[in-house]
Amino acid sequence: MRQQGLLFESRVERAFTAWISSEDGIRVEAEVVRRARLLLAHGKRHYGIAALVEAIRYDESVSLLGDGCFRINNDHRSLLSRRVMERYGDLRGFFTTRELYGRAA
């Protein structure tokens, strides 16, 4: 998702756009949504995207989620949290975000 009012897309945003439509990105997004909804069901109203990404990374590393081979770039976490909150109404406001920096032409 692009932050409104900014004209240029950063290198990280371009990489995220390619990654999120890949098999890895699709799997990671689905798992973030699943886990965030579990937390929401247990009464958590806010949670950190970094914690979810690290938990997914750990579970994948020990093959709890599959073949242990998909990738999650830490640079993509903030964009992933924004995308999830935009696409899934029940998760709006679930992640804390800051202003995006590092935008260049």
Domain-wise residue ranges, the chain: 11-91
Q: How far apart are CA 1 and CA 16, in angstroms?
A: 9
More confident residue, 101 or 91: 91
Cβ neighbours of residue 93 closer than 8 Å, sequence gap 6 or more: 45, 46, 85
* 3 state DSSP class of 47: strand
Give 49-84 pLDDT, tens digit per residue. 999 999 998 888 776 555 655 678 888 999 999 999
pLDDT digit string (tens) for 6-65?
Answer: 445 788 889 999 999 998 899 899 999 999 999 999 999 999 999 999 999 888 877 655
